Structure 1
């Protein structure tokens, strides 16, 4: 049986204020084309289908069209909910969906698999939605953490699979031990802090399809994250986008292949002085990319975002990271003013050094300051 493992579509997510719906639709169309070309039997989507519990109407259209296209391509589809989804909203129409599309969002039904047969017999697919401990505690008294919730769910899966016999897979949405997260992107899976699930919890299934981490991760030959199909952060820019193709044989052994998906627009981080970023030819190839710019001028520059967007129209982030920083001065500004003396020009120079982190007035600025101070003194003398 051929199974495609994907996750974390995050339909409706924005990228630095820009909608990603059109770009994601194109990537999902490419995923459908891969499913058709490779004769995939089952597509597993391991949570975070939407980016919000209250997605906009166009987000539902993307999901509906993609699920229908996957089914038309010949695959059965199994979808679980993640921490960004509303399980109730995602699952409300589960019984109304066309045959072959299964949305599994009910923790009480974890031990009831979707069973799909191939020429070698049945394969049982167990969907574990995101398990919020506060909400599942009424079902499973004593559960206090997400790690405990996932462990209990996996116990239910293994118990049922042992009775049914045969091959089986499970999908879950969680933060597993040993993964590399993208800083500031994958939000805490539990309010108050990350609740890490030990990898030993996933023992048993022939394959474990995980969601939540946006970069592909291999925890073992049979426990993997597929990551997100689209880049949602500059921190992800060097991570490939795609899905896992899993070949399951008659004995339950798996062979996996990574399938690359297209990147609609590259993400790059560029570093240099503001003048270099605006004029240097070495950045010419990046003019149509999403750009995170780090300009290294000692002093902060005026209106850098607007100026950079004249060259890089998709510049989404600008940071001032001086190449050289003056040694830290522990004195308060008041103490610096007192040490500078009563000369107005020196006071202005000291203030500029304070706000710029070390560099005072430039020669042109110093001349302008002295000219203004001179004009002020002349006005006061004739008043």
Structure 2
């Protein structure tokens, strides 16, 4: 059988204020094409289907369309909930959906009940483990201690018990695949994930999953291998500039009677690449070094000694997809006095204003600007005197 391990779709998410619906539709197109071209049997979605607990109607419609297309392409789908999802809302209609080949598991009480697929000479039992918030689930799992490790241990104890029972009575080999939305120790996070530290220690040891035939993890947005059988698929789309060098895609997992026979990367082309640029404004405007970034989503840091005027407008002439602009003047000496102490010591309103402008723009007023400012103050004083 062929399983396609995905996670962290985050449907409905924006990227620095830019809507990602077109990029997400493009990803779904590539996903469906992959399923059809490779004859994938089962698509796994290991949590964070949506970006928020109450997704918009258009976002729910997008996911509904994706499920219909995946089924039409020949794959069944197994879904569990992540920390961004509402388990109750995502799990609505799960029993009815299962009859149509879409298996949504979001209930803690059912972690020991797999979705079983018949591969002819072997069975694949997939155990979807929803995101386990320790404060919310520890009593249901019979756990006294707070923390992600104790609740995951308890959930997987139920899984292991079911695996042992099935293998005892099975006429063909049974492979055990666990899906879990969790932060595994030693994995590399990105800036776009929400921390899982509320309610206890946030990480779970990799060894927790190594006795299963495969562990399809979700939550971290970079595709990575923690152990040959324990992997993150990562998000299919970049959701932060820290993911600039990620290769987005999924894992294609082939199974047989002897276990997992191969695990291969599947890669998808992003709608638009990311670029992080750091230079003086003149170089950014004219250097051919940055030609490739003209069509990319850009994060730019301007390093001129003084903040240049109209930097955003000038840069967007060349980089229309500039999403984030910062200023880090090279060679700038940190002011020993805080801005508050400088204001407290100043008596001249013009000096206070000049210091404020310098603090915000990181450059002094030029002669013309200072002349206009002083004229404005003089006009105000004259008006007050004439009253």
- State the TM-score, normalizing by the size of structure 2: 0.87
* Number of residue-to-residue matches in the alignment: 372
Partner of residue 157 from structure 1, selected from 156, 159, 163: 159
Alignment map for 1:263-342 (pairs within 5 Å): 263-330=270-337, 332-333=341-342
Cα deviation code 1:167-208 (max 9, x no counterpart): 11010001000001113x211124267511111211321000
| CA contact 2:135–2:199 (8 Å) conserved in 1 | no
Cα deviation code 1:234-275 (max 9, x no counterpart): 111111100000112212134211010111001101122223
C-alpha spacing 1:96/1:347, structure 2 compared with 1 (3 Å): closer
Aligned mates of 2:137, 2:129 — CA distance in 1: 12
Give SS of 1:310's match. Answer: helix
C-alpha spacing 1:156/1:333, structure 2 compared with 1 (3 Å): same
C-alpha spacing 1:356/1:110, structure 2 compared with 1 (3 Å): same
| CA contact 1:297–1:323 (8 Å) conserved in 2 | yes
Residue equivalent to 2:171: none
Partner of residue 255 from structure 1, selected from 240, 246, 262: 262
Aligned mates of 2:376, 2:311 — CA distance in 1: 32
| CA contact 2:5–2:45 (8 Å) conserved in 1 | yes
| Residue 167, structure 1, aligned to residue 175, structure 2 | yes
| CA contact 2:134–2:200 (8 Å) conserved in 1 | no
Give SS of 1:253's match. Answer: strand
Residue equivalent to 1:105: 106
Give SS of 1:245's match. Answer: strand
Q: Which moved more, 1:106-115 or 1:116-125?
A: 116-125
Aligned mates of 2:105, 2:371 — CA distance in 1: 73
Aligned mates of 1:173, 1:117 — CA distance in 2: 25
C-alpha spacing 1:105/1:336, structure 2 compared with 1 (3 Å): same
Residue equivalent to 1:128: 129
Partner of residue 232 from structure 1, selected from 239, 248, 262: 239
- Give the deviation of 1:48 after TM superposition: 0.4
| CA contact 2:343–2:352 (8 Å) conserved in 1 | no
- Give the deviation of 1:337 after TM superposition: 5.7
Alignment map for 1:334-353 (pairs within 5 Å): none
- State the TM-score, normalizing by the size of structure 1: 0.88
Aligned mates of 1:12, 1:355 — CA distance in 2: 34
Task: Give the superposed CA RMSD.
Answer: 2.7
C-alpha spacing 1:83/1:352, structure 2 compared with 1 (3 Å): closer
C-alpha spacing 1:285/1:193, structure 2 compared with 1 (3 Å): farther
C-alpha spacing 1:225/1:372, structure 2 compared with 1 (3 Å): closer
The runs of 5 or more residues in structure 2 that have no matched partner are 168-173
C-alpha spacing 1:164/1:318, structure 2 compared with 1 (3 Å): same
The runs of 5 or more residues in structure 1 that have no matched partner are none
| Residue 3, structure 1, aligned to residue 12, structure 2 | no
